[in-house]
Amino acid sequence: MRFSYLEPEFLVERNLERCIRCQVCVRQCAFEAHRYDAASDVVTVDSSRCVGCLRCVTMCPTDALIVRQNPTTFKENANWTGRVIKNIYKQAETGGVLLTGMGNDRPYPIYWDHMVLNASQVTNPSIDPLREPMELKTYLGRKPERLDVSVKDGKISLNTKLAPQLELRMPVVFSALSYGAISFNASKALASAAYEFGTYYNTGEGGLHRDLYRYGERTIVQCASGRFGVHKDYLQAAAAIEIKIGQGAKPGIGGHLPGEKVSREVSRTRMIPEGSDALSPAPHHDIYSIEDLRQLIYALKEATRYEKPVSVKIAAVHNSAAIASGMVRAGADIIALDGIRGGTGAAPTTIRDNVGIPIELAIASVDQRLREEGIRHQASILAAGGFRSSSDVIKAIALGADAVYIGTSALVAMGCHLCQICYTGKCNWGIATQDPYLEKRLNPEIAKERLMNLLRAWEHEIKEMLGGMGINAIESLRGNRLHLRGVGLTDSELEILGILPAGR
Amino acid sequence: MINDIYREKEISGCGLSAYMDESGRRTSGDDIIQSIALLHDRSNGLGGGFAAYGIYPEFPDSYAFHLFYDDGASQVTCEELIHASFHIRESGPIATRKAFGIGPSPIIWRYFVDPKEEILERAGLSADDFVVREVMKINKTIEGAFVFSSGKNMGAFKAVGFPEDVGDFYRLDEYRAYMWVAHGRFPTNTPGWWGGAHPFTILDWAIVHNGEISSYGINKRYVEMFGYHCTMMTDTEVMAYLFDLLLRKHGLPIETACAILAPPFWDLIAHMPEEEKNYYTTLRMVYGSAMANGPFAIVLGSRDMMVALNDRVKLRPLVAARKGSIVYVSSEESGIREICPRPDTVWMPRTGEPVIARLQQEAAS
């Protein structure tokens, strides 16, 4: 290998007094940063191999390890930062596209942190969710504008039959994480947690592993541009079908699964050769316009006898509002919006970091546009892209989302440390890998419990915040922007978000 | 036109009283004034108002517009608009007398109008829809003009002051109605504005309200999808539009509308028989944005019906009683006993369970 100009990103420091040379770190690091020299009975470190996943630190029984950012800096330069210079070195050394994993890590404004919630004082009692009912149940799908109800001999009967809906215990759904990008155990944990908790998970474009069909009624299956793993049983097994047009982490291009991660099982599930790169086309080659989308939506509805809602997922981009309106008119029952902070298993860094718009603005403008056109009831809005906490979720609901997708938060709950190297397939946490040795580190039962704990914790917190606002049903907060105020936002941002500044 | 985003939503407590004689027999405003006067301490002098049904038997089929004008100029502008769209049967100032505690008043005018046929045809709207549109237009676009009543054979009367003084000011003892609805306000965040007093009306619907609607933000955006504009900056107004939408436009029975505004909890629905479960589940799925969340007790008046409704967890008081053909509701039992000392029955309506009085026939006299 040629000499690299890249300094190690991290420095791994071993406290030799504490180290008992048990070699846990050696076994845990798939990147081989730690090595044991039997002759001299020492464990050595090659910091240049460290990706900062902290697996060794977490597993070290004597707390002998510290991983820190390499303090070495280039000469200070506001334009030519260390990050920029290193990227150029990387490209000069390889001639390749810079790859990364997880969501955008650039310091774009996070509007959630510039919006605050309301609470009741005096004139309106807050409601205590520990003592009174607090309802988070949410239904996703197409609703009619009005119901036909008739009264005969004093008895009321309902004459309208609703389109199929998804019933959520609370407005949080596990986002599209494909089998292939993540391990079977991680997929199973998501599926079983959604099933047991009463929400849904999304297969992404990885197909549905045969052992996960039993969670079908809590599964949203994706039909993406590569059509990986799409067949009749797959569609039939699901509760809903999602057409993936775009993804927040890489708007404008298709999904990437490096061949390193296409194991035998992944190959069977995706219906592609083992070890081949699974690169989805940038567009669906049967969708070059809105009328084509309509055809695919109805082809899927026909194929499943109109028994399942069809979602269409797009990356949040400049014209999301107009696009979403077209999607609703084309027959989408759910509009899934994925913002610029949305995660991925693999994406070109430059696209992840520079394309798309923040989800907050997309929710606000799409919800508003659909209302102006009087078609808001025809589709639910499912928002994705970097939801970190229950307060992010509740603010999204207040802005106008029906529910949110969480991907990164779910991965973190399972143990992900956001080191952003998912595309290598060497995830030391057993999540974003197909290596059997690494994969078995993730116990699907424990991961399921952790996921359910996260949902329960957020459920509690959402109930507390909702009750504080004097509201006892989530639908009374949905689109209720009066409960939000902006802090430190410009007039245009406030206008787009449709909220007042704090103090007013 | 009132445009003030600082006062998007009114926060207030209140007292309310109402009764309907289901037989259609009409009585003067004396009783209702006496009842609401007893609830004096529930309001603070920043707004009182009444709605009375059956008061204009001489023009039963014309829309009776009650307007406040800030000045003569706004009246001229507004009357141009009214002239263009309506035949005016009769117009003139609404009779008032000097009353204790009622400050400087706006110009208060009444018009009995019929929409012009040719205009209705061109607009492709029913007379009711057209009136709603014109009322919204006046309230939204004409500076200083405000329609506060637009129904047939009914009228709203309201002002800044205590309700009993407002009743005196409008000489309600001289009107005779088969249904009276009264309200006294205790606003905490709005200055006195005559249009801001209850009741809020659109067409024949009149609504008075004690409470604060925490769901106002979405209720407002929901009715806006159907062409309503909330111009009065209160959550009560949006309730009036919700009823108009659900009952008149969507043709739903009143029981359904009440179940939409104050629906049963999911836990309760889960234990219902299948058909009922499906009914309530569907209502909540389709009309979730119309649910009124937060504390409220409301009385809704319409031509042939009086409806009182509490919120889902009964956070505001509401008592009902019946004596013969008269159904009473009030914030306090004393408000009823003040004018009907020995009712046949008195009860506390349960959460979300409407009290409904229906007119049997309209009285001839």
Could you give the CA distance from residue B21 to residue A339 in angstroms, rounded to a whole number?
Answer: 59
Residue position matching structure tokens 């920029």: A84
Could you give the CA distance from residue A335 to residue B275 in angstroms, rounded to a whole number?
Answer: 30
pLDDT over 50 at B364, yes or no: no
Mark which residues 164-223 of A lie under 8 Å from B by CB. 165
**Beta carbons of A478 and B279 less than 8 Å apart:** no
Catalytic status, residue B340: no
Mark which residues 279-308 of B lie under 8 Å from A by CB. 279, 282-289, 291, 293-295
Per-residue pLDDT band at B9 (split at 50, 70, 90): low
**Beta carbons of B265 and A156 less than 8 Å apart:** no
Nearest to A199 by CA among A224, A171, A226, A233: A171
Sign of CA dihedral B239, B241, B243, B245: negative
B326-330 β-sheet, strand order: B154-159, B48-53, B179-187, B12-21, B326-330, B319-323, B345-347
Query: Are B262 and B280 within 8 A, CB to CB?
Result: no
Q: What residue spans define the domains of chain A?
A: 10-96, 169-478
Sign of CA dihedral A153, A156, A160, A164: negative
Per the model's pLDDT, the better-predicted residue between B12 and A269 turns out to be: A269
A42 beta partners: A37
- Walking along chain A (504 residues) 10 residues at a time, the average pLDDT comes out as 84 96 97 96 95 97 97 96 95 94 96 97 89 96 96 91 97 97 98 98 96 98 96 97 97 93 96 94 94 97 97 97 97 98 95 97 98 97 97 98 98 97 96 97 98 98 97 97 97 98 95
B327 beta partners: B20, B322
The per-residue DSSP string of A449-465 comes to HHHHHHHHHHHHHHHHH
A473: nearest CA partner in chain B: B293
**Beta carbons of B283 and A162 less than 8 Å apart:** no
Nearest to A207 by CA among A251, A244, A165, A173: A244
Return the pLDDT at B44. Answer: 86
The per-residue pLDDT for range B174-227, each reduced to its tens digit, is: 999 999 999 998 876 666 689 888 899 899 999 999 888 899 999 999 999 998
Q: What is the dihedral of CA B170, B171, B175, B181, to 10 degrees?
A: 50
The reply to whether CATH 3.30.1300.10 applies to domain A169-478 is no
Query: Are B38 and B340 within 8 A, CB to CB?
Result: no
- Work out the average pLDDT over B147-166: 96
Q: Strand B27-28 relative to strand B176-177: parallel, antiparallel, unpaired?
A: antiparallel
Return the pLDDT at B12. Answer: 57
Please tell me the distance in Å from A396's CA to the nearest CA on chain B.
14
pLDDT over 70 at B100, yes or no: yes
pLDDT over 60 at B11, yes or no: no
CB-based contacts of A83, cutoff 8 Å, min separation 6: none
Region of B271 (left: φ > 0; alpha: ψ -120 to 50; beta: rest) is: alpha
pLDDT over 50 at B1, yes or no: no
**Beta carbons of A371 and B224 less than 8 Å apart:** yes
Nearest to A322 by CA among A365, A385, A363, A287: A365
A162 in contact with B, Cβ within 8 Å: yes
Could you give the CA distance from residue A385 to residue A315 in angstroms, rounded to a whole number?
Answer: 9
Kindly list the distances between the CA atom of residue A233 and the CA atoms of A64, A174, A267, in Å, as whole numbers in the listed order: 51, 22, 17
Tokens representing B156 are: 């709203």
* CATH topology (fold) of B5-358: Glutamine Phosphoribosylpyrophosphate, subunit 1, domain 1 (3.60.20)
**Beta carbons of A144 and B266 less than 8 Å apart:** no
Q: Which amino acid is at B170?
A: Y
Q: What residue spans define the domains of chain B?
A: 5-358
Could you give the CA distance from residue B77 to residue B67 in angstroms, rounded to a whole number?
Answer: 13
Nearest to A140 by CA among B288, B276, B280: B288
Mark which residues 184-213 of B lie under 8 Å from A by CB. 188, 211-212
Please tell me the distance in Å from B243's CA to the nearest CA on chain A.
14
Q: Which of B12, B285, B295 sits opposite A139 (nearest CB)?
A: B285
SS (H, E, C) B218-244: HHHHHHHCCCCCCCCCCHHHHHHHHHH
Return the pLDDT at A460. Answer: 98
The reply to whether CATH 3.30.70.20 applies to domain A10-96 is yes
What 3-state class would DSSP assign to B271? coil
The per-residue DSSP string of A316-364 comes to --TTHHHHHHHHHHTT-SEEEEE-TT---SSEEHHHHHHSS--HHHHHH
Helix segments in chain B, DSSP class H: 30-38, 72-85, 117-123, 127-141, 163-169, 216-224, 235-243, 254-261, 266-270, 274-287, 333-337
Please tell me the distance in Å from A171's CA to the nearest CA on chain B.
14
Could you give the CA distance from residue B328 to residue B263 in angstroms, rounded to a whole number?
Answer: 24
Per-residue pLDDT band at B240 (split at 50, 70, 90): confident
Query: Are B63 and B131 within 8 A, CB to CB?
Result: yes
Return the pLDDT at A253. Answer: 95
Region of A292 (left: φ > 0; alpha: ψ -120 to 50; beta: rest) is: alpha
Nearest to A149 by CA among B80, B46, B280: B280
User: Model pTM greater than 0.80?
Assistant: yes
Per the model's pLDDT, the better-predicted residue between B211 and B350 turns out to be: B350
Please tell me the distance in Å from B201's CA to the nearest CA on chain A.
23
B215 in contact with A, Cβ within 8 Å: yes
Could you give the CA distance from residue A318 to residue B356 in angstroms, rounded to a whole number?
Answer: 51
Mutate: best of B214, B275, B296, B313, partner A, most A CBs <10 A: B214
Tokens representing B62 are: 């014309």
Nearest to A428 by CA among A16, A134, A92, A53: A53
The per-residue pLDDT for range B257-314, each reduced to its tens digit, is: 999 999 999 999 999 999 999 999 999 999 999 999 999 999 999 999 999 999 999 9
> Which residues of chain B does A500 touch, with a Cβ-Cβ cutoff of 8 Å?
5, 8
Assess: ipTM above 0.90. Answer: yes
Return the pLDDT at B10. Answer: 53
Per-residue pLDDT band at B3 (split at 50, 70, 90): very low
pLDDT over 80 at B96, yes or no: yes
Could you give the CA distance from residue B335 to residue B341 in angstroms, rounded to a whole number?
Answer: 10
The per-residue pLDDT for range B45-86, each reduced to its tens digit, is: 888 999 999 999 999 999 999 999 999 999 999 999 999 999
A369: nearest CA partner in chain B: B225
Mutate: best of A476, A478, A483, partner B, most B CBs <10 A: A476
Mark which residues 101-140 of B lie under 8 Å from A by CB. none
CB-based contacts of A161, cutoff 8 Å, min separation 6: none
Query: Are A82 and A320 within 8 A, CB to CB?
Result: no
B14: nearest CA partner in chain A: A123
B35 beta partners: none
Q: Which of B218, B278, B289 sits opposite A158 (nearest CB)?
A: B278
Could you give the CA distance from residue A447 to residue A416 in angstroms, rounded to a whole number?
Answer: 11
Neighbours of A354 (CB within 10 A): 12
B277 in contact with A, Cβ within 8 Å: no
Omega before residue B199 within 30° of 0, cis: yes
Please tell me the distance in Å from B289's CA to the nearest CA on chain A.
6
**Beta carbons of A475 and B288 less than 8 Å apart:** yes
How much is the CA Rg of chain B, to the nearest whole Å? 19
Mutate: best of B218, B228, B277, partner A, most A CBs <10 A: B218
Nearest to A183 by CA among A209, A217, A144, A149: A209
Return the pLDDT at B191. Answer: 63
A61 beta partners: none
A-B Cβ pairs (cutoff 8 Å, strict): 121
Please tell me the distance in Å from B250's CA to the nearest CA on chain A.
6
Query: Are A168 and A137 within 8 A, CB to CB?
Result: yes
pLDDT over 60 at B4, yes or no: no
**Beta carbons of A123 and B216 less than 8 Å apart:** no
> Which residues of chain B does A157 touch, with a Cβ-Cβ cutoff of 8 Å?
275, 279
